Amino acid sequence: MLSISDDGPGIDPRVGDQIFEPFVSTKDVGQGTGLGLSVTKGLVEGALGSIVALDVPTGGAQFVLRLPRRAV
């Protein structure tokens, strides 16, 4: 498990349910493609893992990635 968080404004409620969909962005036109989280989710799920986004009540956002252990 890997947890990444920040102390920014949190997850914009306008995109909260769509945050991992392609081309969803809160940035101005020309400032981003809205593909980062979609690509990340695809990579994590391709490794048989999962990722969730949480809005932290005290401020900020948290992303929790869970990846399976790999047998060696």
**pLDDT tens by residue, 28-54:** 888 888 999 999 999 999 999 999 999
Q: Are 8 and 61 in contact (CB under 8 A)?
A: yes
Is 55 a residue whose pLDDT tops 80?
Answer: yes
Q: What is the pTM of this model?
A: 0.82
- Residue whose token pair is 């909260």: 16
Report whether pLDDT(70) > 80. no
> In the CATH hierarchy, which fold is given to the domain comprising 2-66?
Heat Shock Protein 90 (3.30.565)
Cα distance between residue 26 and residue 23, in whole Å: 10
pLDDT for residue 30: 86
Please, which residues bridge with residue 50 across strands?
A: 66
